[in-house]
Structure 1
Amino acid sequence: MPSDTRPAVRRPFTPVDFQLVLLRRMADHNPDLVDDARHELGASLHDMREANRRWQAMARSPRGRGAASRYRSVLGAPESQAARRIGDLDCEALLWRLPLWPDLRFEVLLAPNGAVWNEWLVRAPGAPAPALRTLDDLTPWSCTVDEAARAFAPARPLEGSAPTRWGLAFAAPDGAVRRREVVAEFTWGLLQRTAVRE
């Protein structure tokens, strides 16, 4: 009997795959949290690596969709979209719900020409923001870039160590009265770790 030479059908890239892409980058700092989240999604380490490989291939393909179209094709229609003004710039904010982080939304900011300016996790509209008062409150995955910057203003943005990473430098009380200089690292907009400058 002749063997079946039809090409393998590649399954679609789903919202679960996209969440695995976010987790893959976070695994460098918080492997235990990522393992718990990956199990919640019913995914293996291989699934996470494969999702990341496929996402990178889509992003780098010369025939690929633009970033905004890629998000729509993977995540579906945004939960909400609204015009937003940031400084002197007008943009459009698209928000998607991701089951792993029910109190957050994945936000994509689009320039007037449709180019993606920013893509990260933000607090969902109406969801309560965390109480951030001291260093002890800055636990992994507890807050977003914007929330930390507001809670410990003035915060200074820092260049991230890799794409999808951001940093903030600010002063925060250490639980006593003393204020400490802190560097906070974020991946996809979500806090991953802090370091105190001695």
Structure 2
Amino acid sequence: MTAAAPFGPLDFQLVLLRRMADHQPDLVEDARAGLGVSVAQMREANRRWQAMVRAPRSRGALARYRSVLGEPERVVRRKIGDLECDALLWPLPLWPDLRFEVLAAEGGAVWNEWLVRAPRAAGPELRTADDLVPWSCTVDEVARAFPPARPMEGSAPTRWQLEITLPGGERCVAEFCWGLLQRRLN
């Protein structure tokens, strides 16, 4: 029996894709094929990630991200309300205009982890419901484009929903996985 290869950025991208497959199986299939990996490899990456997360003596989330993704491309100090945290940003080849962002408090406690637009990368122009194309925009971009936006609980830890106001006053819900738009409901 041989030891498994180290879990790295490719494996992590497969973990993100595995959860997104629930909403956008065709986009995930295209992405998986573009990465040159099989469905079995995607499942195995997800199995290994879950084992790392649930291990009895698991390292903390921030240490896990650093071990898998390496040193972040950027670390930015942020103030959110009265709280300060570090935003750590990593590039992922599958989404070159996005970064995987981890918000971490002093001591390394992770508050949030998701995909955000890369610094200086142009996001989409979001004006109408038709602009809400799967995988085109992030939670923050949709919230800014369609105020007021009301955060809602998602159906899993890596999922978020926003109730947004479209032009003309119509309300709808945008659903995200790992911070990336998956679909519009209503």
1:101 deviates by 0.4
Residue matched to 1:87: 81
Asked if 1:192 is matched to 2:182, the reply is yes
Asked if 1:49 is matched to 2:39, the reply is no
What letter corresponds to residue 64 of structure 1 in structure 2?
A: S
Residue matched to 1:17: 11
Give the unaligned 5+ runs of structure 1: 1-6
Residue matched to 2:149: 155
Give the unaligned 5+ runs of structure 2: none
Residue matched to 1:3: none
What letter corresponds to residue 62 of structure 1 in structure 2?
A: P
Residues 93-123 of structure 1 show CA distances to partners (whole Å, capped at 9, x for unaligned) of: 1000000000000000001121000000000
What letter corresponds to residue 120 of structure 1 in structure 2?
A: W
Identity of aligned residues (%): 70
Residues 11-65 of structure 1 show CA distances to partners (whole Å, capped at 9, x for unaligned) of: 1111100000000000000000000000111111111111001000000111221
Query: What TM-score, normalized by structure 1, do the two folds share?
Result: 0.92
Higher Rg of the two aligned structures: 1
Superposed, 1:1-198 pairs within 5 Å as: 7-173=1-167, 178-196=168-186
CA distance in 1 between partners of 2:106 and 2:3 (Å): 37
SS at match of 2:122: coil
Length, aligned pairs only: 186
CA RMSD for the aligned pairs? 0.9
CA distance in 2 between partners of 1:43 and 1:172 (Å): 39
Residue matched to 1:4: none
SS at match of 2:152: strand
Query: What TM-score, normalized by structure 2, do the two folds share?
Result: 0.98
